[in-house]
Chain A
Amino acid sequence: MPLILTGTSGSTTLDSSAGLTFSDSSNQAAAASPYVLKNRIINGAMVIDQRNAGASVSITTTGSAVYTVDRWFFYVTQASKITTQQNQGSVTPPAGFSNYLGITSSSAYTPTGGDNFYVSQNIEANNISDLAWGTANAKTVTISFWVRSSLTGNFGLVVENAPTYNYSYPILYTINAANTWEYKTITIPAPTAGTWATSGNGIGFTLVFSLGIGTTYAGPSGAWAAANYNGVTGQTNVVATNGATFYITGVQLEIGTSATPFERRLYNQELANCQRYYWRFNGTGGATIFSAGGLAYTTTKGTFAIQNPVSMRVVPSAIDYASLGITLFGTSTTAVTSAILVTSTAESSLNFTVVEATVASGLTQFRPYNLSSSSASGYIAATAEL
Protein backbone atom coordinates (compact mmCIF):
# COMPACT_ATOMS: atom_id res chain seq x y z
CA MET A 1 0.00 0.00 0.00
CA PRO A 2 1.50 3.36 -1.00
CA LEU A 3 2.05 6.07 1.55
CA ILE A 4 0.60 9.43 0.40
CA LEU A 5 1.74 12.66 2.03
CA THR A 6 -0.64 15.52 1.23
CA GLY A 7 0.33 19.16 1.67
CA THR A 8 -1.00 22.54 0.56
CA SER A 9 0.67 22.32 -2.85
CA GLY A 10 -0.02 18.69 -3.70
CA SER A 11 0.92 15.22 -2.62
CA THR A 12 3.94 12.96 -2.64
CA THR A 13 3.51 9.22 -2.93
CA LEU A 14 5.91 6.64 -1.59
CA ASP A 15 5.36 3.23 -3.10
CA SER A 16 7.57 0.19 -2.61
CA SER A 17 7.59 -0.63 -6.32
CA ALA A 18 7.05 2.72 -8.01
CA GLY A 19 9.36 4.65 -5.72
CA LEU A 20 8.80 8.28 -4.83
CA THR A 21 6.38 10.33 -6.97
CA PHE A 22 6.22 14.08 -6.37
CA SER A 23 3.34 16.50 -6.84
CA ASP A 24 4.62 17.53 -10.27
CA SER A 25 4.47 13.84 -11.31
CA SER A 26 8.25 13.52 -11.36
CA ASN A 27 9.39 10.19 -10.08
CA GLN A 28 12.46 8.75 -8.39
CA ALA A 29 11.99 5.07 -9.03
CA ALA A 30 14.75 3.87 -6.74
CA ALA A 31 17.66 5.36 -4.93
CA ALA A 32 21.08 4.17 -5.98
CA SER A 33 21.05 2.16 -2.80
CA PRO A 34 18.65 1.86 0.08
CA TYR A 35 21.34 3.17 2.37
CA VAL A 36 25.01 3.96 2.17
CA LEU A 37 28.11 2.71 3.93
CA LYS A 38 26.60 -0.75 3.97
CA ASN A 39 29.33 -2.60 2.09
CA ARG A 40 32.04 -3.94 4.37
CA ILE A 41 34.25 -4.81 1.42
CA ILE A 42 36.78 -2.19 0.33
CA ASN A 43 37.55 -1.90 -3.38
CA GLY A 44 34.84 -4.41 -4.23
CA ALA A 45 34.65 -2.89 -7.71
CA MET A 46 38.41 -3.52 -8.19
CA VAL A 47 38.95 0.10 -9.17
CA ILE A 48 42.07 0.82 -7.10
CA ASP A 49 45.31 -0.89 -8.12
CA GLN A 50 48.09 1.15 -6.53
CA ARG A 51 50.69 -1.62 -6.56
CA ASN A 52 50.52 -2.73 -10.16
CA ALA A 53 48.52 -0.10 -12.04
CA GLY A 54 46.89 -2.77 -14.15
CA ALA A 55 50.04 -4.80 -14.83
CA SER A 56 49.97 -8.59 -14.77
CA VAL A 57 51.36 -10.45 -11.76
CA SER A 58 52.33 -14.10 -11.43
CA ILE A 59 51.80 -15.39 -7.91
CA THR A 60 55.22 -16.85 -7.18
CA THR A 61 55.33 -16.47 -3.40
CA THR A 62 53.92 -19.35 -1.41
CA GLY A 63 52.66 -19.37 2.14
CA SER A 64 52.11 -15.65 2.59
CA ALA A 65 49.76 -12.98 1.31
CA VAL A 66 50.49 -11.40 -2.05
CA TYR A 67 48.47 -8.23 -2.58
CA THR A 68 47.40 -7.27 -6.09
CA VAL A 69 44.51 -4.85 -6.61
CA ASP A 70 44.11 -2.95 -3.36
CA ARG A 71 42.86 -4.86 -0.32
CA TRP A 72 42.71 -8.17 -2.21
CA PHE A 73 45.44 -10.73 -1.67
CA PHE A 74 46.34 -14.13 -3.01
CA TYR A 75 47.47 -17.06 -0.92
CA VAL A 76 48.89 -20.09 -2.66
CA THR A 77 50.80 -23.20 -1.67
CA GLN A 78 52.28 -23.82 -5.12
CA ALA A 79 54.15 -21.15 -7.02
CA SER A 80 53.40 -19.88 -10.49
CA LYS A 81 50.00 -21.54 -10.93
CA ILE A 82 48.12 -18.26 -11.20
CA THR A 83 48.46 -14.95 -12.99
CA THR A 84 46.28 -12.04 -12.04
CA GLN A 85 45.64 -8.58 -13.35
CA GLN A 86 43.13 -5.80 -13.10
CA ASN A 87 40.94 -6.18 -16.21
CA GLN A 88 42.86 -9.22 -17.39
CA GLY A 89 41.65 -10.41 -20.77
CA SER A 90 40.00 -7.06 -21.51
CA VAL A 91 36.46 -8.40 -21.48
CA THR A 92 33.57 -5.98 -21.04
CA PRO A 93 32.78 -5.68 -17.32
CA PRO A 94 29.22 -6.07 -16.07
CA ALA A 95 26.97 -3.08 -16.69
CA GLY A 96 27.83 -0.28 -14.33
CA PHE A 97 31.36 -1.45 -13.65
CA SER A 98 34.65 -0.38 -15.21
CA ASN A 99 36.99 -2.86 -13.60
CA TYR A 100 37.29 -6.43 -12.47
CA LEU A 101 39.95 -8.67 -10.97
CA GLY A 102 41.08 -11.23 -13.52
CA ILE A 103 42.69 -14.54 -12.69
CA THR A 104 44.06 -17.12 -15.09
CA SER A 105 45.36 -20.58 -14.31
CA SER A 106 48.92 -21.05 -15.59
CA SER A 107 48.84 -24.83 -15.58
CA ALA A 108 46.67 -27.87 -14.96
CA TYR A 109 47.47 -28.55 -11.33
CA THR A 110 45.29 -30.86 -9.23
CA PRO A 111 45.38 -29.72 -5.59
CA THR A 112 46.09 -32.40 -3.01
CA GLY A 113 46.35 -32.60 0.77
CA GLY A 114 46.97 -29.15 2.20
CA ASP A 115 47.06 -27.34 -1.12
CA ASN A 116 45.32 -24.03 -1.07
CA PHE A 117 44.78 -21.35 -3.70
CA TYR A 118 42.55 -18.40 -3.01
CA VAL A 119 41.95 -14.70 -3.38
CA SER A 120 40.72 -13.03 -0.26
CA GLN A 121 40.02 -9.84 1.63
CA ASN A 122 40.63 -9.40 5.36
CA ILE A 123 38.01 -7.13 6.91
CA GLU A 124 39.04 -4.92 9.80
CA ALA A 125 37.24 -5.67 13.05
CA ASN A 126 36.40 -1.97 13.50
CA ASN A 127 34.20 -2.23 10.42
CA ILE A 128 32.10 -5.18 11.57
CA SER A 129 31.34 -4.36 15.18
CA ASP A 130 27.62 -4.15 14.50
CA LEU A 131 27.54 -7.73 13.16
CA ALA A 132 28.02 -8.97 16.74
CA TRP A 133 29.26 -12.30 15.48
CA GLY A 134 29.87 -14.88 18.14
CA THR A 135 26.98 -13.57 20.26
CA ALA A 136 23.25 -14.20 20.50
CA ASN A 137 22.74 -10.90 18.64
CA ALA A 138 24.76 -11.95 15.61
CA LYS A 139 23.54 -10.58 12.27
CA THR A 140 23.00 -12.49 9.04
CA VAL A 141 24.93 -11.08 6.09
CA THR A 142 24.56 -11.38 2.35
CA ILE A 143 27.45 -11.44 -0.08
CA SER A 144 26.84 -10.41 -3.67
CA PHE A 145 29.23 -10.28 -6.61
CA TRP A 146 29.63 -10.62 -10.33
CA VAL A 147 31.64 -13.56 -11.59
CA ARG A 148 32.69 -14.81 -15.00
CA SER A 149 34.66 -17.95 -15.72
CA SER A 150 35.65 -20.09 -18.64
CA LEU A 151 34.57 -22.99 -16.44
CA THR A 152 31.12 -23.94 -15.22
CA GLY A 153 30.02 -25.83 -12.15
CA ASN A 154 30.13 -25.30 -8.42
CA PHE A 155 32.73 -22.96 -6.98
CA GLY A 156 33.81 -22.33 -3.43
CA LEU A 157 33.46 -19.32 -1.15
CA VAL A 158 34.31 -19.20 2.55
CA VAL A 159 33.84 -16.78 5.42
CA GLU A 160 36.22 -17.46 8.29
CA ASN A 161 37.26 -15.90 11.56
CA ALA A 162 40.79 -14.60 11.83
CA PRO A 163 43.49 -14.63 12.93
CA THR A 164 42.48 -17.72 14.91
CA TYR A 165 41.20 -19.44 11.74
CA ASN A 166 39.09 -22.01 13.51
CA TYR A 167 35.49 -21.18 12.60
CA SER A 168 34.35 -21.04 9.03
CA TYR A 169 31.41 -21.18 6.66
CA PRO A 170 32.19 -22.82 3.29
CA ILE A 171 29.53 -22.62 0.63
CA LEU A 172 29.21 -23.57 -3.00
CA TYR A 173 27.80 -21.29 -5.67
CA THR A 174 27.12 -22.21 -9.26
CA ILE A 175 28.45 -20.69 -12.45
CA ASN A 176 25.98 -21.78 -15.11
CA ALA A 177 27.40 -20.46 -18.39
CA ALA A 178 30.99 -20.18 -19.51
CA ASN A 179 32.48 -16.78 -20.29
CA THR A 180 29.37 -14.94 -19.17
CA TRP A 181 29.04 -12.48 -16.30
CA GLU A 182 26.67 -13.86 -13.68
CA TYR A 183 25.39 -12.10 -10.55
CA LYS A 184 25.53 -14.21 -7.40
CA THR A 185 24.10 -13.67 -3.95
CA ILE A 186 24.96 -15.80 -0.96
CA THR A 187 23.40 -15.38 2.46
CA ILE A 188 25.55 -16.36 5.41
CA PRO A 189 23.53 -17.23 8.52
CA ALA A 190 24.48 -15.38 11.67
CA PRO A 191 27.20 -17.20 13.60
CA THR A 192 26.29 -17.13 17.27
CA ALA A 193 29.35 -19.19 18.19
CA GLY A 194 33.02 -19.01 17.43
CA THR A 195 35.65 -16.47 18.42
CA TRP A 196 35.33 -13.22 16.48
CA ALA A 197 37.16 -9.94 16.83
CA THR A 198 34.41 -7.33 16.65
CA SER A 199 36.40 -4.23 17.50
CA GLY A 200 39.89 -2.90 17.10
CA ASN A 201 42.20 -2.61 14.13
CA GLY A 202 42.95 -6.29 13.69
CA ILE A 203 41.23 -8.76 11.38
CA GLY A 204 37.54 -9.31 12.04
CA PHE A 205 37.07 -12.02 9.47
CA THR A 206 38.21 -12.97 6.02
CA LEU A 207 36.24 -13.53 2.82
CA VAL A 208 37.75 -16.19 0.58
CA PHE A 209 37.14 -17.01 -3.07
CA SER A 210 38.74 -20.40 -3.49
CA LEU A 211 40.61 -21.15 -6.70
CA GLY A 212 41.83 -24.57 -5.68
CA ILE A 213 41.67 -26.73 -2.59
CA GLY A 214 43.08 -30.05 -1.47
CA THR A 215 41.29 -32.29 1.00
CA THR A 216 42.77 -30.90 4.23
CA TYR A 217 41.11 -27.49 4.17
CA ALA A 218 37.92 -28.34 2.25
CA GLY A 219 34.70 -28.31 4.24
CA PRO A 220 31.09 -29.26 3.56
CA SER A 221 28.94 -26.60 1.95
CA GLY A 222 26.37 -24.58 3.81
CA ALA A 223 27.18 -25.02 7.49
CA TRP A 224 29.26 -23.25 10.08
CA ALA A 225 32.05 -25.47 11.33
CA ALA A 226 34.61 -25.14 14.08
CA ALA A 227 37.38 -25.73 11.58
CA ASN A 228 39.86 -23.95 9.35
CA TYR A 229 38.30 -24.31 5.91
CA ASN A 230 39.51 -22.35 2.91
CA GLY A 231 37.52 -24.16 0.26
CA VAL A 232 34.48 -26.34 -0.21
CA THR A 233 34.17 -30.05 -0.74
CA GLY A 234 33.21 -30.72 -4.33
CA GLN A 235 34.16 -27.33 -5.69
CA THR A 236 35.60 -26.71 -9.13
CA ASN A 237 39.31 -25.95 -8.94
CA VAL A 238 40.29 -23.15 -11.30
CA VAL A 239 43.96 -24.10 -11.04
CA ALA A 240 43.19 -27.59 -12.35
CA THR A 241 42.57 -26.34 -15.88
CA ASN A 242 45.37 -24.70 -17.83
CA GLY A 243 44.22 -21.34 -19.14
CA ALA A 244 41.02 -21.30 -17.12
CA THR A 245 39.84 -17.81 -16.30
CA PHE A 246 38.00 -16.50 -13.25
CA TYR A 247 36.96 -12.86 -13.07
CA ILE A 248 35.14 -11.11 -10.22
CA THR A 249 33.89 -7.61 -9.42
CA GLY A 250 31.15 -5.82 -7.54
CA VAL A 251 31.83 -7.70 -4.34
CA GLN A 252 29.58 -6.56 -1.53
CA LEU A 253 28.99 -7.86 1.99
CA GLU A 254 26.08 -6.31 3.86
CA ILE A 255 23.78 -7.02 6.75
CA GLY A 256 20.53 -8.72 5.84
CA THR A 257 19.10 -11.70 4.06
CA SER A 258 19.02 -10.21 0.60
CA ALA A 259 21.41 -8.30 -1.62
CA THR A 260 20.85 -4.66 -2.45
CA PRO A 261 22.42 -2.67 -5.31
CA PHE A 262 26.18 -2.30 -5.15
CA GLU A 263 27.26 0.62 -3.02
CA ARG A 264 28.93 3.18 -5.27
CA ARG A 265 31.77 5.13 -3.76
CA LEU A 266 33.51 8.16 -5.18
CA TYR A 267 36.98 7.33 -6.46
CA ASN A 268 38.69 9.52 -3.88
CA GLN A 269 36.72 7.90 -1.09
CA GLU A 270 37.65 4.40 -2.14
CA LEU A 271 41.28 5.41 -2.65
CA ALA A 272 41.36 6.83 0.88
CA ASN A 273 39.77 3.62 2.18
CA CYS A 274 42.60 1.66 0.57
CA GLN A 275 45.29 4.05 1.76
CA ARG A 276 44.50 3.22 5.35
CA TYR A 277 46.21 -0.09 4.52
CA TYR A 278 48.62 0.83 1.72
CA TRP A 279 49.61 3.96 -0.10
CA ARG A 280 52.00 4.55 -2.95
CA PHE A 281 53.41 7.77 -4.42
CA ASN A 282 54.65 7.44 -7.97
CA GLY A 283 57.24 9.54 -9.73
CA THR A 284 55.98 11.47 -12.69
CA GLY A 285 59.31 12.58 -14.05
CA GLY A 286 62.80 13.20 -12.70
CA ALA A 287 62.64 14.45 -9.15
CA THR A 288 59.04 14.13 -8.03
CA ILE A 289 59.02 15.26 -4.41
CA PHE A 290 57.76 12.63 -1.95
CA SER A 291 58.61 14.19 1.41
CA ALA A 292 58.63 17.51 3.12
CA GLY A 293 62.04 18.91 3.95
CA GLY A 294 64.29 16.34 5.54
CA LEU A 295 67.83 16.60 6.72
CA ALA A 296 71.16 15.13 5.74
CA TYR A 297 72.69 14.08 9.00
CA THR A 298 75.88 12.88 7.30
CA THR A 299 77.24 13.33 3.79
CA THR A 300 75.65 10.02 2.78
CA LYS A 301 72.48 9.70 4.87
CA GLY A 302 69.32 11.68 5.26
CA THR A 303 66.08 11.25 7.17
CA PHE A 304 62.74 12.18 5.66
CA ALA A 305 59.19 12.24 7.02
CA ILE A 306 56.43 11.52 4.52
CA GLN A 307 52.92 12.43 5.61
CA ASN A 308 50.61 9.48 5.08
CA PRO A 309 47.63 10.38 2.85
CA VAL A 310 45.29 9.17 5.59
CA SER A 311 45.85 7.95 9.10
CA MET A 312 46.95 4.36 8.63
CA ARG A 313 45.57 1.31 10.38
CA VAL A 314 48.82 0.78 12.27
CA VAL A 315 52.34 2.17 12.05
CA PRO A 316 53.56 1.02 8.62
CA SER A 317 55.26 -2.34 8.76
CA ALA A 318 57.26 -1.93 5.54
CA ILE A 319 58.06 0.38 2.68
CA ASP A 320 58.36 -0.54 -0.98
CA TYR A 321 60.47 1.64 -3.23
CA ALA A 322 62.29 2.00 -6.52
CA SER A 323 64.52 4.66 -8.07
CA LEU A 324 64.58 7.10 -5.17
CA GLY A 325 66.69 10.24 -5.00
CA ILE A 326 67.65 12.90 -2.52
CA THR A 327 67.11 16.25 -4.10
CA LEU A 328 68.12 19.77 -3.18
CA PHE A 329 64.86 21.54 -3.94
CA GLY A 330 64.78 19.94 -7.35
CA THR A 331 68.01 21.57 -8.52
CA SER A 332 70.13 18.44 -8.18
CA THR A 333 69.22 14.88 -7.35
CA THR A 334 71.46 12.16 -5.97
CA ALA A 335 70.39 8.55 -6.48
CA VAL A 336 69.53 6.64 -3.33
CA THR A 337 71.41 3.36 -2.93
CA SER A 338 69.22 2.03 -0.11
CA ALA A 339 66.35 3.17 2.05
CA ILE A 340 64.84 1.84 5.23
CA LEU A 341 61.63 2.35 7.11
CA VAL A 342 62.41 3.87 10.48
CA THR A 343 60.01 2.65 13.12
CA SER A 344 62.01 3.12 16.28
CA THR A 345 60.66 5.31 19.05
CA ALA A 346 59.13 8.65 18.07
CA GLU A 347 59.63 8.18 14.35
CA SER A 348 57.14 6.53 11.96
CA SER A 349 53.57 6.76 13.22
CA LEU A 350 50.01 6.40 12.00
CA ASN A 351 50.38 9.75 10.26
CA PHE A 352 53.99 9.80 9.12
CA THR A 353 56.31 7.35 7.43
CA VAL A 354 59.92 8.11 8.25
CA VAL A 355 62.54 6.95 5.79
CA GLU A 356 66.29 6.92 6.16
CA ALA A 357 67.92 7.06 2.74
CA THR A 358 71.55 6.46 1.84
CA VAL A 359 73.47 7.80 -1.13
CA ALA A 360 77.04 7.09 -2.24
CA SER A 361 78.30 10.59 -1.44
CA GLY A 362 77.72 14.25 -2.00
CA LEU A 363 75.27 15.46 0.62
CA THR A 364 76.08 18.44 2.77
CA GLN A 365 75.67 17.60 6.42
CA PHE A 366 72.75 19.35 8.13
CA ARG A 367 71.42 20.80 4.86
CA PRO A 368 67.69 20.29 4.21
CA TYR A 369 66.75 18.06 1.31
CA ASN A 370 63.68 16.30 -0.04
CA LEU A 371 63.21 12.62 -0.74
CA SER A 372 62.15 12.24 -4.35
CA SER A 373 62.08 9.94 -7.30
CA SER A 374 65.22 9.80 -9.44
CA SER A 375 63.31 8.79 -12.57
CA ALA A 376 59.76 8.39 -13.80
CA SER A 377 59.74 4.80 -12.55
CA GLY A 378 60.54 5.88 -9.01
CA TYR A 379 58.04 5.34 -6.24
CA ILE A 380 57.68 4.91 -2.52
CA ALA A 381 54.92 3.07 -0.71
CA ALA A 382 54.04 2.13 2.83
CA THR A 383 51.99 -0.82 4.00
CA ALA A 384 49.85 -1.39 7.05
CA GLU A 385 47.84 -4.30 5.65
CA LEU A 386 45.89 -6.67 7.82
Chain B
Amino acid sequence: MYKIVKVISYGVEYSHIIQDRGNNEFTSFPADENNPNYPAYLKWVSEGNTPEPADE
Protein backbone atom coordinates (compact mmCIF):
# COMPACT_ATOMS: atom_id res chain seq x y z
CA MET B 1 0.00 0.00 0.00
CA TYR B 2 1.40 3.36 -1.04
CA LYS B 3 0.39 6.96 -0.47
CA ILE B 4 1.58 10.06 -2.31
CA VAL B 5 2.48 13.15 -0.30
CA LYS B 6 3.14 16.58 -1.77
CA VAL B 7 5.68 18.89 -0.16
CA ILE B 8 6.50 22.48 -1.08
CA SER B 9 10.09 23.41 -0.38
CA TYR B 10 11.46 26.83 -1.31
CA GLY B 11 8.46 27.31 -3.56
CA VAL B 12 8.94 24.05 -5.43
CA GLU B 13 6.47 21.16 -5.09
CA TYR B 14 7.94 17.69 -4.58
CA SER B 15 6.15 14.36 -4.50
CA HIS B 16 7.04 11.81 -1.87
CA ILE B 17 5.79 8.29 -1.45
CA ILE B 18 4.98 6.54 1.80
CA GLN B 19 4.83 2.75 1.73
CA ASP B 20 2.81 1.03 4.43
CA ARG B 21 4.83 -2.11 5.14
CA GLY B 22 2.32 -3.44 7.64
CA ASN B 23 2.65 -3.82 11.38
CA ASN B 24 2.54 -0.01 11.67
CA GLU B 25 5.87 0.28 9.85
CA PHE B 26 6.45 2.67 6.96
CA THR B 27 9.03 3.64 4.36
CA SER B 28 9.21 7.10 2.81
CA PHE B 29 11.14 8.07 -0.29
CA PRO B 30 11.04 10.76 -2.97
CA ALA B 31 9.07 10.06 -6.14
CA ASP B 32 12.19 10.04 -8.24
CA GLU B 33 12.94 7.59 -11.02
CA ASN B 34 16.51 7.34 -9.75
CA ASN B 35 15.42 6.31 -6.28
CA PRO B 36 16.03 2.58 -5.66
CA ASN B 37 12.57 2.19 -4.13
CA TYR B 38 10.75 3.79 -7.03
CA PRO B 39 10.73 0.80 -9.43
CA ALA B 40 8.85 -1.31 -6.88
CA TYR B 41 6.28 1.46 -6.57
CA LEU B 42 5.89 1.66 -10.36
CA LYS B 43 5.53 -2.12 -10.53
CA TRP B 44 2.82 -1.97 -7.87
CA VAL B 45 0.96 0.71 -9.88
CA SER B 46 1.38 -1.27 -13.11
CA GLU B 47 -0.36 -4.20 -11.43
CA GLY B 48 -3.52 -2.08 -11.27
CA ASN B 49 -3.12 -0.60 -7.82
CA THR B 50 -3.82 3.04 -7.03
CA PRO B 51 -1.94 5.00 -4.37
CA GLU B 52 -3.90 6.82 -1.72
CA PRO B 53 -4.16 10.55 -2.39
CA ALA B 54 -2.06 13.08 -0.59
CA ASP B 55 -3.20 14.34 2.77
CA GLU B 56 -4.61 17.88 2.67
| Residues of chain A at the chain B interface (Cβ within 8 Å) | 61, 63-65, 317-323, 337-347, 356, 358, 377, 385
Contacts and interface: CB of A to CB of B under 8 A. Distances in A.
24 contacts: A63-B40, A63-B43, A64-B36, A64-B39, A64-B40, A317-B37, A318-B27, A319-B28, A320-B21, A320-B25, A321-B27, A321-B28, A322-B26, A338-B3, A338-B55, A339-B26, A344-B9, A344-B10, A344-B14, A345-B10, A345-B12, A346-B10, A358-B55, A385-B36
A315 B9 CA distance: 17
B28 A345 contact: no
Nearest to B43: A63
Interface string B26-49: 111110000111011001000000
Interface of B: 3, 5, 7, 9-10, 12, 14, 16, 18, 21, 23-30, 35-37, 39-40, 43, 55
Contacts of A323: 24
Nearest to B24: A322
A320 B36 contact: no
Contacts of A346: 10
A202 to B, nearest CB: 12
Contact of B25 (A61, A317, A322, A341): A322
B27 A319 contact: yes
B47 to A, nearest CB: 12
A61 B27 CA distance: 15
A338 B14 contact: no
Nearest to B37: A318
Contacts of A345: 9-10, 12
Contacts of A344: 7, 9-10, 12, 14
B16 A341 contact: yes
A341 B26 contact: no
A323 B23 CA distance: 10
Interface centre among A338, A340, A343 (most CB of B within 10 A): A340
Contacts of B26: 320-322, 338-339
